[in-house]
């Protein structure tokens, strides 16, 4: 713990809003014994201010630094004094000065600042210097999948100086790119399809001395942890690897969904994948070809579920009917306008293949019928080039029927751009090929994890590898395994090449971070890791079950078995533990509980106002509060904000501490969660919401209204909504009156 703390005030940050001299005087009087140094500086994060702190450290006067100034999100690099010096930040600028409502009592503002200073000192006193474990990591990256994405990832990793094991289940490298006649334009002038170049790429990879290629091979098990994985293969061999790039690509969606369009019964009806193969082998001869992009209008709604079942090979998941029904809600798809797994890729592929039709015969005609033509970025040039071709007709509308008509097919189109229905006589109808990620049909990695061999909670409606596509692309819920290419989301070859570079860099970061014993992401460089007091562990398994990242296994006795390099340092295990035996060096149950108790709570709410604690997720809610203040927003001065790593780390004892202290309410502000958004730590915010129900039951038994503790979802860009959220909560607290435990 920090025993000799130096308290430093940044006058440039605090001075415009608060009387720095008064705060220095308070700190000397209240904390003079524990804090031998209390100073202020005109520009603390500047060279002279930093030098002042370093001199105190070098003299042995202090072993901990409390910086009272701007948000910890600012000037963080200026306050790094080495891994042996604890540093805590007190946010007096954004969350006291800038946010304080104008016209209110200045003593109230000073009281806010004093509470934050007291909390900061307590947090330092309850922190210890982290002692990370040095781990000798394996500097080998395994790339799974030898297609376009995997080949590029292997090249990037090898060129960066890392050994690579490239694993491909087929007998040859190249993947689906080998089956392409041409690719959509990937180079200037972006108006014509061209060769993929996959053959040359394969040759380059095979010639690279750093890349070991294993074809005709699958992974039977991946056990261990980032930096020290062991991969076992179907050939009976095994290899140590440090990190993994998953680039296994996609498989075509099952064709049952296409049956209402005559697929399998009407000659001349095929998929884009089948047409591509025919053109590649030189067997396509269509003269009048209709490409249909949106097919949901004809598809019976009861086909949605069988389609999803068709791509699911997880018997355990399929057997759990009740859970699947609740989770995937197929009945909710009734009004969905898009075929599951359709994407912008289908739109541009239809343009490419319409070009094939024209290339093969100058007199041929191609018709593209769409309800949604999705063309992204530079591909707009390709789209415009197609519209300039007199042999390619693009029209908005939906296909109401496809019927046999003599030796051809009759396609009826309704609701076109000019409001007229029409029919087309064609010889070929081409239907979209849905892109289904390979992980939806196959565990692929075969993890030796407590949570099972596959990536967790694959939603069959999209099914893509669980990379956090909003905040952290490539990063799956299995630390050390990074998804790239169409296993992550539908994309073209240029995007896949960029993905390959990003995933390879993440794999390198993982190996280097694990080697230094620090967190990979999103708390990159964090020296701490969860410490378990196994003497008091009751083996309830809540920590192992709730960890979103599989960082904990069970040993032979059923006791949690930590894997430090898998850990993301979110603290969800700490929040889950009813015995409070899990902690971090600078973030623990006692620390936050003690900080809550350091808040001055007046006995008379009517005279001196209520007190409300905000536990704010450091990823979304806390920066959103900062941004609100920076933009001139203010909020109620009776709240006190405590940043938490994730709402998943919130332990119920903190709420109990707050209520017993006489705090009138607790707001928990965290990331959004659910199908359309992702918590930074994937499940933390959602887990907290589930725990809140148990907290509510406990409060009700104590005679405290459960709604005094409430959780709110907030995205980082919703800063403008936060003041109103706080005000509404405060209005509710004022209406209820004081906490029944106030004054005890």
Strands 408-414 and 422-426: antiparallel
The tens digit of pLDDT for each residue in 564-594 reads 999 999 999 999 999 999 999 999 999 999 9
- pLDDT value at residue 197: 96
* Residue 131 tokens, joined: 């002692």
Whether 686 has a pLDDT exceeding 70, the answer reads yes
- pLDDT value at residue 463: 66
Whether 56 has a pLDDT exceeding 80, the answer reads yes
Sheet strands side by side (includes 219-223):
219-223, 229-233, 238-241
Q: Is omega for the bond preceding 189 within 30 degrees of 0, making it cis?
A: yes
The tens digit of pLDDT for each residue in 126-185 reads 999 998 777 889 999 999 999 999 999 999 999 999 999 999 999 999 999 999 999 999
CA atoms within 13 A on the CB side of 579: 14
Whether 525 has a pLDDT exceeding 60, the answer reads yes
Percent of the chain clearing pLDDT 90 (strictly above): 73
Alpha-carbon distance 515 to 511, whole Å? 6
- pLDDT value at residue 103: 82
Task: Report which DSSP code applies to 566.
Answer: G
Strands 582-583 and 531-532: antiparallel
The tens digit of pLDDT for each residue in 376-408 reads 889 999 999 999 999 999 999 989 899 999 999
Whether 524 has a pLDDT exceeding 60, the answer reads yes
Closest CA to 348 of 470, 433, 447, 448: 433
Q: Report the chain's mean pLDDT, rounded to a whole number.
A: 89
Sheet strands side by side (includes 365-370):
269-271, 428-431, 288-292, 365-370, 392-396
Angle, helices 106-125/20-31, rounded to nearest 10 degrees: 40
The tens digit of pLDDT for each residue in 611-646 reads 999 999 999 999 999 999 999 999 999 999 999 999
- The set of residues, in sequence order, having a beta carbon less than 8 Å from that of 218 and lying 6+ positions away, is 167, 169, 233, 234
Alpha-carbon distance 324 to 30, whole Å? 58
Position 278 confidence tier, pLDDT thresholds 50, 70, 90: very high
Instruction: Provide the whole-model pTM.
Output: 0.89
Same fold, 1-129 and 587-744: yes
Whether 469 has a pLDDT exceeding 60, the answer reads no
Alpha-carbon distance 250 to 253, whole Å? 9
> Could you tell me the residue ranges of all domains in the chain?
1-129, 140-252+436-515, 255-299+339-433, 531-583, 587-744
The tens digit of pLDDT for each residue in 292-320 reads 998 766 655 444 444 444 433 333 333 33
Which CATH code is given to the segment(s) 255-299+339-433?
Answer: 3.50.50.60
Task: Report which DSSP code applies to 414.
Answer: E
- pLDDT value at residue 472: 78
Q: Homologous superfamily of 140-252+436-515 in CATH?
A: FAD/NAD(P)-binding domain (3.50.50.60)
Average pLDDT over residues 726-737: 95
Q: What is the per-residue DSSP string for 349-402?
A: HHHHHHHHHHHH-TT-EEEEEES-----TTHHHHHHHHHT-TTEEEEE-EEEEE
The tens digit of pLDDT for each residue in 203-232 reads 999 999 999 999 999 999 999 999 999 999
Q: What is the per-residue DSSP string for 192-240?
A: S-B---HHHHHHHHHH-TTEEEEES--EEEEES-TTSEEEEETTS-EEE
Whether 327 has a pLDDT exceeding 70, the answer reads no
From 2.60.40, 2.40.128, 3.10.20, 3.40.50, which CATH number describes the 587-744 domain? 3.40.50
For the domain made up of 531-583, the CATH class stated in words is alpha beta
From 1.10.1330, 3.30.70, 3.40.50, 1.10.132, which CATH number describes the 1-129 domain? 3.40.50
């Amino acid at each position: 713990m920090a025993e000799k703390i130096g308290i430093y005030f940044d006058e440039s940050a605090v001075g415009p809003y608060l009387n720095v001299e008064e705060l220095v005087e308070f700190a000397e009087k209240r904390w003079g014994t524990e804090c031998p140094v209390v100073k202020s500086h005109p520009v603390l994060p500047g060279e002279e201010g930093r030098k002042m702190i370093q001199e105190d450290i070098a003299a042995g006067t202090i072993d901990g630094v409390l910086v009272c100034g701007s948000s910890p999100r600012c000037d963080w690099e200026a306050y790094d004094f080495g891994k042996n010096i604890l540093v805590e930040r007190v946010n007096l600028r954004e969350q006291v000065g800038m946010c304080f409502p104008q016209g209110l009592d200045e003593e109230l503002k000073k009281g806010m600042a004093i509470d934050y200073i007291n909390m900061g000192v307590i947090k330092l006193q309850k922190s210890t210097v982290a002692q990370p474990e040095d781990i000798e990591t394996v500097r080998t990256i395994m790339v799974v999948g030898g297609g376009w994405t995997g080949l590029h990832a292997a090249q990037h990793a090898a060129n960066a100086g890392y050994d690579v094991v490239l694993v491909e289940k087929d007998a040859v490298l190249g993947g689906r790119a080998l089956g392409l006649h041409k690719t959509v334009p990937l180079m200037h002038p972006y108006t014509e399809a061209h060769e993929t170049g996959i053959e040359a790429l394969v040759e380059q990879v095979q010639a690279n001395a750093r890349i070991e290629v294993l074809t005709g091979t699958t992974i039977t098990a991946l056990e261990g942890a980032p930096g020290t994985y062991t991969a076992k293969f179907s050939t009976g061999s095994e290899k140590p690897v440090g990190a993994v790039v998953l680039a296994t690509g996609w498989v075509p969606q099952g064709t049952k969904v296409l049956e209402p369009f005559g697929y399998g019964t009407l000659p001349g009806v095929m998929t884009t994948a089948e047409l591509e193969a025919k053109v590649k082998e030189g067997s396509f001869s269509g003269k009048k070809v209709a490409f249909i992009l949106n097919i949901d209008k004809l598809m019976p709604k009861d086909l949605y579920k069988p389609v999803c079942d068709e791509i699911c090979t997880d018997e355990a998941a399929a057997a759990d009917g009740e859970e699947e029904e609740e989770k995937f809600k197929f009945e909710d798809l009734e009004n969905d306008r898009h075929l599951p797994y359709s994407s912008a890729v289908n739109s541009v592929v239809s343009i490419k293949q319409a070009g094939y039709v024209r290339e093969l015969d100058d007199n041929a005609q191609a018709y593209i019928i769409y309800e949604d033509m999705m063309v992204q970025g530079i591909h707009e040039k390709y789209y415009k080039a197609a519209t300039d071709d007199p042999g390619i007709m693009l029209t908005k509308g939906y296909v109401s029927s496809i019927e046999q008509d003599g030796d051809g097919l009759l396609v009826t189109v309704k609701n076109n751009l000019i409001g007229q229905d029409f029919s087309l006589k064609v010889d070929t109808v081409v239907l979209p090929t849905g892109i289904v990620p390979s992980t939806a049909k196959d565990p692929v990695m075969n993890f030796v994890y407590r949570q099972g061999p596959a990536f967790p909670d694959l939603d069959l409606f999209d099914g893509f590898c669980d990379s956090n596509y909003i905040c952290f692309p490539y990063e799956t819920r299995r630390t050390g395994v990074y998804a790239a290419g169409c296993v992550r989301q539908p994309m073209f070859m240029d995007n896949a090449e960029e993905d390959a570079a990003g995933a390879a860099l993440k794999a390198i970061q993982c190996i280097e971070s694990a080697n230094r014993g620090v967190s990979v992401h999103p708390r990159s460089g964090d020296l701490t890791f969860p410490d378990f007091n196994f003497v008091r562990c009751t083996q309830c398994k809540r920590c192992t079950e709730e960890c979103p990242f599989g960082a904990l296994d069970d040993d032979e006795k059923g006791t949690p078995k930590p894997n430090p390099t898998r850990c993301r340092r979110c603290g969800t295990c700490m929040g889950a533990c009813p015995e409070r035996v899990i902690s971090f060096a600078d973030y623990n149950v006692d620390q936050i509980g003690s900080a809550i108790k350091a808040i001055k709570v007046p006995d008379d709410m009517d005279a001196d106002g209520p007190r409300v604690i905000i536990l704010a997720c450091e990823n979304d809610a806390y920066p959103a509060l900062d941004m609100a203040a920076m933009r001139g927003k203010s909020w109620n001065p009776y709240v006190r904000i405590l940043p938490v790593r994730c709402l998943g780390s919130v332990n119920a004892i903190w709420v109990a501490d707050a209520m017993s202290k006489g705090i009138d309410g607790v707001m928990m502000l965290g990331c959004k969660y659910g199908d359309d958004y992702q918590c930074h730590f994937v499940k933390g915010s959602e887990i907290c919401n589930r725990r809140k129900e148990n907290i509510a039951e406990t409060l009700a038994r104590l005679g405290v209204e459960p709604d005094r503790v409430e959780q709110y979802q907030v995205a980082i860009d919703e800063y403008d909504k936060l003041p109103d959220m706080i005000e509404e909560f405060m209005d509710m607290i004022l209406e209820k009156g004081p906490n029944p435990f106030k004054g005890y």
